[in-house]
């Protein structure tokens, strides 16, 4: 392959070459994108406007919604535009921005879900100490640390990925994903990014082990609750968090740490879609729309306070 040390852009993977299916892909992604954006914007607005939601749990939920909003906005609009205009092109600068921003939001996702696991651990295992441990300054420091660390993480990955020249401009993925960019690298400098990915794997594994241990303690405490209703409430709060986190981690690891195929792979595409798009779409439903306080806040914000309580809860369920 010819060494292209300076590329004007890359050619991304098409979902299909059939024009009608390209239009269908555009509309499907548009509906999913609008639903995701709407759900997360409602959560951000509700938490920001309602003083009753200015608590640690809702602070984390708002930041998770911001992260989800950013994550889908990094990859979906460009993919939709390419399908609509029947093109595969992405500029070099856009590709760099995609890698940086996507890794920033993915890192903040893992970090926030880890912090939220700790929040649930303190709330369930040490309820009398919750306000002292998870006070406003401590939670603010946690959130600021998450975003600063994620910012540095994104810079590190983007720098490591684009420090190397590329021998081709064909990326076998529908956005600029690091494993597929490293596949077309033609310099040993890509080993720098391999080292960064290895370090990321270690940190991600550490977060996963921390969350698992945390939930072992949580479930042990929940099983000691004498009330069946109390146990059900605790499980309904914690299980969705654990399921989303596990799905995100395992599909992300599959996409990043398995050998990258030489040709486009449907399995690789499926796992990439799951880790990059499913959590941002599901998080508003799992974490917030099932939450009574969020529902009531949204009803007040949208002017639905005149509905009866039962009608309102049924409408938002």
The set of residues, in sequence order, having a beta carbon less than 8 Å from that of 206 and lying 6+ positions away, is none
| Contact in structure between 4 and 36 (CB atoms under 8 Å) | no
Low-confidence ranges of the chain (pLDDT < 70): 1-7, 189-190, 234, 237, 261-264, 287-290, 304-317
* Alpha carbons 57 and 165: distance in angstroms, whole number: 44
Residue 4 lies in a domain: no
**What pLDDT does residue 261 have?**
67
- Between helix 56-84 and helix 19-49 the angle, nearest 10°, is 160
Task: Encode pLDDT of 276-287 as tens digits.
Answer: 888 888 888 776
Task: List the domain range (segments joined by +) for residue 152.
Answer: 9-316
Residue 124 lies in a domain: yes
Residue 169 lies in a domain: yes
**What pLDDT does residue 1 have?**
42
Rounded to a whole number of angstroms, the CA Rg of the chain reads: 21
**What pLDDT does residue 34 have?**
94
Between vectors from CA 193 to CA 188 and to CA 197, what angle results, nearest 5°?
140
Residue 224 lies in a domain: yes
Mean pLDDT of the chain: 82
pTM score, whole prediction: 0.84
**Nearest CA to 110 among 269, 14, 245?**
245
DSSP annotation string for the chain: ---BSS-SEEEPPPS-S-HHHHHHHHHHHHHHHHHHHHHHHHHHHHHHH-GGG-SHHHHHHHHHHHHHHHHHHHHHHHHHHHHHTT--EEEHHHHHHHHHHHHHHHHHHHHHHHHHHHHHHHHHH-GGGHHHHT-HHHHHHHHHHHHHHHHHHHHHHHHHHHTS-BS--B-SSSS--HHHHHHTB-STTHHHHHHHHHHHHHHHHHHHHHHHHHHHHHHHHHTT-S-HHHHHHHHHHHHHHHHHHHHHHHHHHHHHHSPPPSS--HHHHHHHHHHHHHHHHHHIIIIIIT-HHHHHHHHHHTT-TTS-HHHHHHHH-
Map tokens 């009330």 to a residue. Answer: 227
Residue 223 lies in a domain: yes
Neighbours of 102 (CB within 10 A): 22
For the record, the structure tokens of 204 come out as 């991600």
Count Cα atoms within 13 angstroms, Cβ side, for 239.
7
* Alpha carbons 248 and 261: distance in angstroms, whole number: 21
For the record, the structure tokens of 48 come out as 């920001």
Q: How many domains does the chain have?
A: 1
Strand partners, 91: 9
In angstroms, how far is the first alpha carbon of the chain from the final one? 55
CATH of the domain at 117: 1.20.1070.10
Residue 3 lies in a domain: no
Residue 254 lies in a domain: yes
Residue 127 lies in a domain: yes
Q: Given phi > 0 = left and psi -120 to 50 = alpha, else beta, which region is 168?
A: beta
Map tokens 């909003």 to a residue. Answer: 69
């Amino acid at each position: 392959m010819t060494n292209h040390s300076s590329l004007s852009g890359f050619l991304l993977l098409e979902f299909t070459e059939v024009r009608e299916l390209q239009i269908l892909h555009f509309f499907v992604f548009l509906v999913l994108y609008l639903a995701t954006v709407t759900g997360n914007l409602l959560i951000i607005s509700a938490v920001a406007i309602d003083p009753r939601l200015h608590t640690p749990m809702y602070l984390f939920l708002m930041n998770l919604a911001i992260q989800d909003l950013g994550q889908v906005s990094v990859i979906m609009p460009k993919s939709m535009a390419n399908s609509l205009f029947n093109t595969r092109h992405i500029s070099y600068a856009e590709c760099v921005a995609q890698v940086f921003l996507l890794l920033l939001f993915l890192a903040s996702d893992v970090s926030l879900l880890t912090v939220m696991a700790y929040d649930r651990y303190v709330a369930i295992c040490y309820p009398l100490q919750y306000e002292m441990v998870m006070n406003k300054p401590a939670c603010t420091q946690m959130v600021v640390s998450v975003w600063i660390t994620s910012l540095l993480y994104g810079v590190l990955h983007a720098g490591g990925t684009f420090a190397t020249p590329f021998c081709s401009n064909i990326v076998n993925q529908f956005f600029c994903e690091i494993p597929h960019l490293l596949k077309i690298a033609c310099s040993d400098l890509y080993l720098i990014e391999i080292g960064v990915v290895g370090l990321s794997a270690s940190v991600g594994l550490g977060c996963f082990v921390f969350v698992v241990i945390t939930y072992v303690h949580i479930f042990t405490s929940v099983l000691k609750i004498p009330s069946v209703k109390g146990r059900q409430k605790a499980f309904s709060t914690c299980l969705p968090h654990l399921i989303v986190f596990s799905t995100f981690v395992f599909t992300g690891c599959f996409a990043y740490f398995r050998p990258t195929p030489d040709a486009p792979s449907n399995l690789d595409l499926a796992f990439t879609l799951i880790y990059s798009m499913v959590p941002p779409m599901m998080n508003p439903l799992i974490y917030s729309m099932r939450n009574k306080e969020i529902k009531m806040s949204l009803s007040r914000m949208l002017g639905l306070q005149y509905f009866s309580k039962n009608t309102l809860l049924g409408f938002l369920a």
